[in-house]
Amino acid sequence: MLFDIIVSNWGFILNLSIPIIIALYLVLTNREYIWKEFGIQTAATLAYVSIVFFAAFSFSTEIWDTNYYNGKVKSSTYYEEWTELVHYTESYPCGTSKAPRTCTRPKTRRDYHSPYYQIKTDLGETISIRRGDYLKTSREFGSKEVYLHRSGQVSFGDGNKFVSYPNKAIATSVGHSYENVVAAAKGNVIHLKVPKENIAQLVKIGILREYPSLYKGKYGETKLNRIIDTTGKVDLNTMLHLTNKLSTRVGETKQANPIIYIVSADKFDRSFKDALSQHWSMGKKNDITLVLGIDENKKIQWSDVICFTNNTDFIVDMQNNFDGKEVNPLILAEFEKLINSEYIRKPMAEFAYLKENITLDWKWQLLILLGNIIISGFIAYKFLNNQERKR
């Protein structure tokens, strides 16, 4: 997707025309210039603008984003330290001052490999953990030693691994990079038009918070802070624990990432969802953010949802099926039921049309163009003053 965005950008096309413009000028002025040099200059320009445009789009737009896959711990592993004997060839100068040569000789060295610890998830992901995290897992679930054959090992009694297999579901959330054209596009119809000053005020008073962050669980696994309560009335630890468990189930069945955002219904009505949606750029492609307005007794006065889906029935039921219920573990059953029965994730491919709205600020375009002109001019000057070619 990013490749398509770059090559369709008018600035990219303009920069590629620089070598052609230089070649035409030199031909028309009868300056000495050959096709081989034109090819070299064009290749240099292509390499320059490709690298620079990739970096500019990556750092000046929100094209690169991270969404979270939800799974379970499959195993926790400790890899022992070991020492390897490495054979290699060393070069050294030999011969005489009049006839210098380079000779080689065989050498050996001992490379020490440190111990390390990691978790494997049922989605095939790897999470680095600390020694203490592994010890908690092995003490609770046991472990077994697995012999590893290592070529070149010269140490004894080490180099193997110890694997612990949990006998209960331990939820994990692992970030994966993707190209978020929704967040990167400017002036598109998906961003809701809430005044920036309103957004800033809600952020300032702590009601509008940043997207959830990862944290380490008991065994070193990564989890998402997927419950945000701005009222202080919810049993956060219990709800977070149960919602993390829910995430492993809907992550497997629906590739979904559930999040719950809670505000005071006395201060905010359903329109708060619009502000949150804009602040988070509608979240990640697999998010289902349930937004709840609750009263002093933790009763839900209104609910809404932020997600990418074409199923309007899912959105309507998410708005209606929680009214009057208390925020407790029971609402998670309804949340999971609706996700499994009605949620259909909208493919990001349906937003491909937005790539036409993704561009660079004119200052970036100008800076890249000036750099290209300088580099192309320098290369042309060097070619035209190449004394070896003119002999």
What is the C-alpha to C-alpha distance for residues 139 and 249, in angstroms, rounded to an integer?
A: 26
Cα distance from N-terminal residue to C-terminal residue, the chain:
48
pLDDT higher than threshold 60 for residue 133: yes
Say yes or no: 9 and 135 in one domain: no
Say yes or no: 192 and 335 in one domain: yes
Q: Which domain holds residue 106?
A: 70-164
Pairing mode of beta strands 287-294, 257-264: parallel
Say yes or no: 252 and 306 in one domain: yes
183 domain-assigned:
yes
pLDDT for 55: 86
User: What total of structural domains would you count in the chain?
Assistant: 3
Tell me the average pLDDT across 31-56. Answer: 80
Say yes or no: 274 and 182 in one domain: yes
pLDDT higher than threshold 60 for residue 10: yes
pLDDT higher than threshold 80 for residue 188: no
The half-sphere exposure of 318 on its side-chain side, counting CA atoms within 13 A, is 28
Q: Is the dihedral of CA 53, 58, 60, 63 positive or negative?
A: positive
Say yes or no: 269 and 211 in one domain: yes
382 domain-assigned:
yes
Question: For all residues of the chain together, what is the average pLDDT?
Answer: 89
Tell me the average pLDDT across 229-254. Answer: 94
Higher local confidence (pLDDT), 295 or 96: 295
Phi-psi region of 30 (alpha: psi -120 to 50; beta: other; left: phi over 0): left
125 domain-assigned:
yes
41-55, 180-194, 205-219, 220-234 — which is least confidently predicted?
Answer: 180-194
Say yes or no: 94 and 195 in one domain: no
pLDDT higher than threshold 90 for residue 50: no
Say yes or no: 107 and 157 in one domain: yes
338-350 burial, b at 16+ Cβ within 10 Å, e below that, comes to bbeebbebeebee
- Under the banding of pLDDT at 50, 70 and 90, the label for residue 390 is very low
Strand intervals (E) in 56-185: 64-79, 82-95, 100-113, 116-121, 126-129, 144-146, 161-164, 171-179
pLDDT for 391: 46
353 domain-assigned:
no
Say yes or no: 42 and 92 in one domain: no
What is the C-alpha to C-alpha distance for residues 42 and 20, in angstroms, rounded to an integer?
A: 8
Query: What residues does 129 pair with on adjacent strands?
Result: 117
Say yes or no: 190 and 260 in one domain: yes
Is the separation of the CB atoms in 305 and 318 below 8 Å? yes
pLDDT for 190: 57
Tell me the average pLDDT across 99-121. Answer: 95
Rounded to two decimals, the pTM is 0.81
Q: Report how far apart, in Å, the C-alpha atoms of 352 and of each of 28, 182, 184, 309 are.
A: 43, 9, 12, 15
pLDDT for 286: 94
Say yes or no: 198 and 53 in one domain: no
- Under the banding of pLDDT at 50, 70 and 90, the label for residue 52 is confident
Out of 25-34, 87-96, 123-132, 340-349, give the one with best mean pLDDT: 123-132
Higher local confidence (pLDDT), 46 or 184: 46
Tell me the average pLDDT across 259-274. Answer: 95
pLDDT higher than threshold 50 for residue 294: yes
Please write the tens of the pLDDT for every residue from 151-170. 999 999 999 999 999 999 99
Please write the tens of the pLDDT for every residue from 333-342. 999 999 999 9
354 domain-assigned:
no
Please write the tens of the pLDDT for every residue from 245-254. 999 999 999 9
